[in-house]
Amino acid sequence: MKVAKFGGSSVANAEQIKKVAAIIKQDQERKVVVVSAPGKRDENDTKVTDLLIKLADACLNGESGEKELVHVVKRYQSIAEELNLSEKIVRIIEEDLKARMASSKEDSRIFLDLLKASGEDNNAKLIAAYFQSIDLEAEYIDPKEAGLYVSDEPGNAQVLEESYIRLSHLKDHKKIVVFPGFFGYSKEGVLVTFPRGGSDITGSILAAAVQADLYENFTDVDSVFAANPTVVHNPVKIKKMTYREMRELSYAGFSVFHDEALIPAFKNKIPVCVKNTNNPSSSGTMIISEREYFLNPVIGIAADEGFATIYVRKYLMNREVGFGRRLLQILEDEGISYEHIPSGIDDTSVILREEQLNEEKEKRIVERIKSELEVDDVYFEHGFAMIMIVGEGMHNTIGLSARATAALSKANVNIEMINQGSSEVSLGLAVHQEDASASVKALYEEFFGGVKEETVS
């Protein structure tokens, strides 16, 4: 059995949905299909999810939302007409949207989740209707009825363990299951969405629940690349990679998966294959538990921007028991998570994402660190990018850090911080944001410049 998930670009219009149907017809093992909301049809288009956010905002602002509703319904109507579906499915979608708009707005987060999730939910209904119209035995499945239970955290739902048992019955379903991605339900019956990349998470959960032989993630690229193609010209394709490598690269800005999306598949050792809806015959990239890595210790290079550093200095810091705990407690009190903590004997730096900060928070944090920890100096610095060099073979490779630093030196890039994870699967380098692209290019040339093959594994 295979679980196949199709992203927004794969279900953006009728032409793409016809490709999806052909892919499902081609392989009878594809029994569970997870779909996203319609994505952009071209670079100037607007995703349905963004249209739904505008609709939700209008309703929350006390407006009727009629204008925004028309835009959403028109997208589905155009798809339905091109697929030769009856008006019935469009009426079902419109009535569903109106019912959601009339829901309680007491908690704006819950209301926003309810509207956003309609993108996937209604697209699943439409795609199931199309499958049926071309004699594919398929059925839309409601996540609530199926038993996809999640934590009550709007916009940041976590799957509850009991969901796997409840969802396991899907493997015995006689028809092709068409399942909406991105959301589940709390134990109280409230709709709650996953974080960004939520449809990938749904696909991974279902693959684990039905113990699929393979989880196929269909997108608009032939494979995962060793570097961002918008930064590096024609980067090599990755043929095979491990879950840990994918997670490290996703965390550092690879857009194929959200960094948490594969955890259910990873825990159940289910292989994942990234494939192209527009070129399904391509072998894609296999993501597996283990791989041979003697050809190249590095599998990929990624960059992510938007980091800040809290720099703290105190003489004999290393002898002060509990200093690190008290420092992190101050951040916890402000609801801030950290990414890295490189340190010396008299100083430490805490690297975190800037989106968690504002001027007021920064001022409070600095004042508390000064008064409670009695430090010699403390200040924030902004505008950093994290460059991640990732590969399972790195821990057996001598001189890799030296090669990386030499490559950046040649590119005239100043390294602000180096952090090697304890697993040694990744090496993190902090640079100023304006040097991010130059850093990726220099490191790609260093580690892949001599690679003649189209793919690496």
Phi and psi dihedrals of 218, rounded to 5? -90, 130
Reference 388, options 412, 361, 417; nearest CA is: 417
- The answer to whether 202 is a known ligand-binding residue is no
Classify 10 as helix, strand or coil: helix
Task: State how far Cα 28 lies from the chain centre.
Answer: 28
Q: Are 277 and 222 in contact (CB under 8 A)?
A: no
1: exposed, middle or buried (C-beta count within 10 Å: 0-12, 13-18, 19+)? middle
Q: How far apart are CA 353 and CA 336, in angstroms?
A: 9
DSSP-assigned beta bridge partners for residue 286? 240, 273
- The answer to whether 332 is a known ligand-binding residue is no
Half-sphere exposure of 137 (CA within 13 A, CB side): 5
Task: State how far Cα 9 lies from the chain centre.
Answer: 15
Half-sphere exposure of 278 (CA within 13 A, CB side): 13
- The answer to whether 6 is a known ligand-binding residue is yes
Q: How far is CA 143 from CA 120, 131, 187, 448, in A?
A: 11, 19, 13, 44
Q: Are 448 and 238 in contact (CB under 8 A)?
A: no
Task: Give the angle 255-266-280 at the CA atoms, nearest 5°.
Answer: 55
Q: How far is CA 326 from CA 320, 343, 368, 444, in A?
A: 11, 15, 10, 39
User: Could you count the other beta carbons within 10 Å of the beta carbon of residue 233?
Assistant: 9
Classify 71 as helix, strand or coil: helix
Q: How far apart are CA 177 and CA 2, in angstroms?
A: 11
Which residue has tokens 């113990």?
A: 211
Q: How far apart are CA 334 and CA 129, in angstroms?
A: 48
- The answer to whether 307 is a known ligand-binding residue is no
- The answer to whether 203 is a known ligand-binding residue is no
Which residue has tokens 């509850």?
A: 160
- The answer to whether 220 is a known ligand-binding residue is yes
Q: How far is CA 117 from CA 51, 147, 155, 156, 299, in A?
A: 12, 16, 10, 13, 35
Q: Are strands 176-180 and 30-35 parallel, antiparallel or unpaired?
A: parallel
Reference 87, options 99, 102, 77; nearest CA is: 77
* Binding-site residue ranges for substrate: 49, 120
* Binding-site residue ranges for ATP: 5-8, 219-220
* Binding-site residue ranges: 5-8, 49, 120, 219-220
